[in-house]
Structure 1
Amino acid sequence: MNIKQIVKNSRTYFKSHETLEYKFRKENLNKLRLAINKYEPQLLESLKLDLGKNEHESYMTEIGVVLKELTYNEKRLKKLMKPKRVRTAVTDFPGSSFRYAEPFGVVLIISPWNYPVNLTLSPLIGALTAGNTAIIKPSEFSINTSKVIEEMILDTFEEKYVKVIQGGVETNQELLDQKFDYIFFTGSTNVGKIVMEKASKHLTPISLELGGKSPVIVDKNVNIQVAAKRITFGKYLNSGQTCIAPDYLYVHKDIKEEFISEMNKNIIEFYGEKPLESSIYGSIINQRHFNRLKNYLNDGTSIVGGTIDEENLRIAPTLLDSVEMSSLVMKEEIFGPILPIISYTEIDEVIDFIGSRPKPLALYLFTENAHIEKRVLSECQFGGGCINDTVMHIASEYLPFGGVGESGMGSYHGAKSFETFSHYKSILKKRTWFDLPVRYAPYSPVKKKLIKRFLK
């Protein structure tokens, strides 16, 4: 496999201008839809093999959301492509102004293993909607799903248009040594730094969808039953291997015991008395991540869960109490089914703690107190989140998704995906039937007076 030649072929095809046409983009988005529907059984099976995902969860969080994203872009493609009229400054009379979207060119998409269908195909939809060609590097950890995606793409598109490249770290490094017109990376913060460094050598624009320790805050003025159920859902979805999963829980001391009891009820309701034997509860992706998560169990007291199944790489949904703030479980992103619980008295201590840490990808606040809501939204910096829910903001095509600081840069979903994979040319179109003389030499006091009036 000659990666340099693959990139060259993709660039040559982009320069043919075929991908620019509305009809071409529309047809290929429809091709992708047909392909996803055709390969749905294989994708569901591969997700089961890689992550132990049940079909309901796989469709809801992987295939269904991708199809919804496709529907949004297909319906709005013509409008998205249309030049956007903007106001024209008085200094540019007579004329008109607009922003003209053009694709970047050859796009590299590097996707992760935790949602290998969603986080590969969602950015691909944005790239193709915007008129780019794409090279995809899926994760080598979700090997079965990556193989199905490669087969599906090969069956659907010409390789010069969309190409999947498999491989590990060496393949990533070789790809990042090539010159791309845009790089879209989803993964860890540490690898994101490497991607950014490599991109800087070619001055390549990038999107980094990273992670971090996303807090959830539960005020005493909440519906405890609803809050506990929604946090249980968001935390243990995909066995906690979700970049926006609640990473630690601040709960008001007045309701802590009741809240823990309610979460325990929900865990049993979702996964049964023995979640390690549940047919709908997933597994950890590999032994290395399993060992890392197992060590976190020593950083506190398991008041719910804490049991493991090493043979099947499963860790039961766990609530961890008596956690030291200096422990590893409170420093590193957990990315698994372990939730440290910390009680608090005043919201100030929570806001101060969150502010002392890197900006998280998500934040979740459960409260009916408008003052606390306002304070958290205005004083805490984070990528996005929910009030009285968890993770569901990522499912909306009307809410751009992305991080800030160490949790990432750039955003996508819905119309924002088109914008992310497009460069907007700002165009001023002047008329010739009149030409303001004040900008031309020779200058005079009268012209200076007019210029001052125009530019105030």
Structure 2
Amino acid sequence: MKLNYTSTEEVPQIVEDLRKSFFSNLTKPLSYRKNQLKQLYNLFDDNEQELCDALQKDLRRPRSEAVLGEISIIKQEIYDSIKNLDTWAKPEFVKVGIAHKLNRCQIRKEPVGNVLIIGPWNFPILLLLLPFVGAISAGCTAILKPSEIAENCATVITELFPKYLDQNSYRIVNGDAKVATTLLENRFDHIFYTGSGKIGKIVMETAAKHLTPITLELGGKSPAIVANDADIPACIAPDYVICEKSVQEAFVKEVPRIVEELYGPDPQNSPDSSRIISQRHFDRLTDLLDKTEGKVVYGGDKDKNDLFFPATVVSDVPKYDSLMQEELFGPILPIVVVENLDEALEFIRSKDIPLVIYPFSNNEKTIENSRLNLLDNTRSGGVLINDCFMHFTVSTLPFGGQGHSGIGKYRGKRTFDTFSHERSVMTSPYILERLLEVRYPPYTEKKFNFMFWLLYSYKKRNETGFFKATIGAIFVLFISYVFYSPF
């Protein structure tokens, strides 16, 4: 299956067409948004097998992981968005002080405009279309740029998109770095990028030229802190493990059994064993492994022709090793040895802020003590205790990084908020022009004292009592109106 790239000459016109659609108010009615969300749900419902096949071709991702880890999460997000959209989009009336009791003060939830969403290759469907759900819900027009590396997924999404979604509002643009650069040269009202920190910096720099707000989901080095009393077989999936020497020895002994339990005696021929996305990334991982000063204690033969890279564990990895410089995006698990928990926390603080920290322990007291210690003495996008990945499946928990691991949060209502502008609106009845003429020159001490009391003297009003203060203010305003000005 070949992915057809969008011509760079077409890009500016696509951007302009969507901008015109936005200003025509096509996407603003809630009924329109709900209909498009239902159509996106139908896209996944009708074509689940085709999407699973694309993930299988690109990443050899098993059907269970494709459905449970990508497709079902998006469908649940769509369902929640449709169910809650009326509440999320409803104008919010705010509390006001005495001076504004006759004003109508509200916050309108308005779409930010025309947005760009750039997806990664490691979760090519989930992390492209999950933010898109929020863009639809918020009432934006949107351009989606799938990863060209996961070309089967990009091709399937491109083919299905116009069959279900309004092309006047939402478009797919495909291509390599040249096409992505052309896209970024255009002005958008928000850019949502998921991928590496290196490209994230380029996106941020380009967006700054137009003062475009951005959301960056960048990942980073997410550590698993494994306590002495942890259940060793449970600790899988993070970017590296940090633990004491005795835990490393126990962990390394368990690895062969765990891998065989998951993938059988021949992991390469297991139907549940994924592949590296491309030869370039295969070579990248090989190069990192060749440069490490750690000891490869587990990992069979690699097969470049099949893009099979076995689960590989590297022990005694120096803290500033080649494997510790960037997110690996591959089945290599470095182990960094420390003397104690305090040294582990100090090391984590010395590095860029991770997307997630995964502490593991089998003792409730240890969990509580290390939880408080870790939360008080480290920074990260999130913390997941005794598990991996599962916090992402909870749509009411904000997901996102901090610093080098990302900017901004999303999932559920927070994705809606990401693509929404909170527009403050205050309406004053014309009668206030006469009631509050005391705010105009010529200024007097009496005018000043009255306006200061009305606007800022919270302590005096609290001492007087809210009810009495309100009655007093209304009385003064009434006198102001009747006699035009008491001053």
| Normalised TM-score (structure 1) | 0.92
Which protein is bigger by CA-based radius of gyration?
Answer: 2
- C-alpha distance after superposition, 1:193-212 (max 9, x if no partner): 11111111111111111121
Cα shift at 1:432:
4.9
Q: Give the gaps of 5 or more residues in structure 1.
A: 236-245
Cα shift at 1:411:
1.2
Equivalences for residues 51-450 of structure 1 within 5 A:
51-222=59-230, 224-225=231-232, 228-229=233-234, 231-232=235-236, 235=237, 246-298=238-290, 299=292, 300-367=294-361, 368=364, 369=366, 370-432=368-430, 435-450=435-450
When residues 347 and 451 of structure 1 are mapped into structure 2, their CA distance, relative to the original with a 3 A threshold, is farther
Q: Secondary structure at the match of 1:134?
A: strand
Tell me what 1:10 maps to.
18
Tell me what 2:477 maps to.
none
Q: Read off the aligned partner of 2:63 and give its amino acid letter.
A: E
Tell me what 2:478 maps to.
none
Cα shift at 1:108:
0.8
Q: Distance in 1 between matches of 2:383 and 2:371?
A: 12
Q: CA RMSD in A?
A: 1.7
Cα shift at 1:443:
2.6
Could you list the structure 1 runs, at least 4 aligned residues long, displaced by more than 4 angstroms after superposition.
Answer: 431-434
Q: Distance in 1 between matches of 2:442 and 2:258?
A: 80
Q: Read off the aligned partner of 2:260 and give its amino acid letter.
A: I
Cα shift at 1:452:
4.2
Cα shift at 1:343:
2.6
Count of residue pairs the alignment pairs up? 440
Structure 2 contact 248–315 (Cα < 8 Å) conserved: no
Q: Secondary structure at the match of 1:311?
A: helix
Q: Secondary structure at the match of 1:387?
A: coil
The answer to whether the aligner puts 1:34 opposite 2:42 as a matched pair is yes
Structure 1 contact 54–281 (Cα < 8 Å) conserved: yes
- C-alpha distance after superposition, 1:49-96 (max 9, x if no partner): 100111111111111111111111011011111012222133323234
Q: Distance in 1 between matches of 2:391 and 2:429?
A: 45
Structure 1 contact 385–391 (Cα < 8 Å) conserved: no
| Normalised TM-score (structure 2) | 0.87
Q: Distance in 2 between matches of 1:346 and 1:450?
A: 63
Q: Distance in 2 between matches of 1:430 and 1:264?
A: 72
Cα shift at 1:387:
1.5
When residues 344 and 186 of structure 1 are mapped into structure 2, their CA distance, relative to the original with a 3 A threshold, is same
Which range is displaced more, 122-131 or 321-330?
321-330
Q: Distance in 1 between matches of 2:319 and 2:205?
A: 32
Q: Read off the aligned partner of 2:296 and give its amino acid letter.
A: S
Q: Distance in 1 between matches of 2:255 and 2:428?
A: 64
Q: Give the gaps of 5 or more residues in structure 2.
A: 1-6, 458-487
Q: Distance in 1 between matches of 2:71 and 2:174?
A: 21
Structure 1 contact 296–329 (Cα < 8 Å) conserved: yes
Q: Read off the aligned partner of 1:357 and give its amino acid letter.
A: K
When residues 378 and 91 of structure 1 are mapped into structure 2, their CA distance, relative to the original with a 3 A threshold, is farther
Tell me what 2:485 maps to.
none
Tell me what 2:469 maps to.
none
Cα shift at 1:148:
0.3
Q: Secondary structure at the match of 2:349?
A: helix
When residues 220 and 440 of structure 1 are mapped into structure 2, their CA distance, relative to the original with a 3 A threshold, is farther
Structure 2 contact 191–215 (Cα < 8 Å) conserved: yes
Tell me what 1:242 maps to.
none
Tell me what 1:239 maps to.
none
Q: Read off the aligned partner of 1:258 and give its amino acid letter.
A: A
Structure 2 contact 92–108 (Cα < 8 Å) conserved: yes
Which range is displaced more, 300-309 or 370-379?
300-309
Q: Distance in 2 between matches of 1:445 and 1:422?
A: 44
Q: Distance in 2 between matches of 1:287 and 1:281?
A: 17
Q: Secondary structure at the match of 2:334?
A: strand
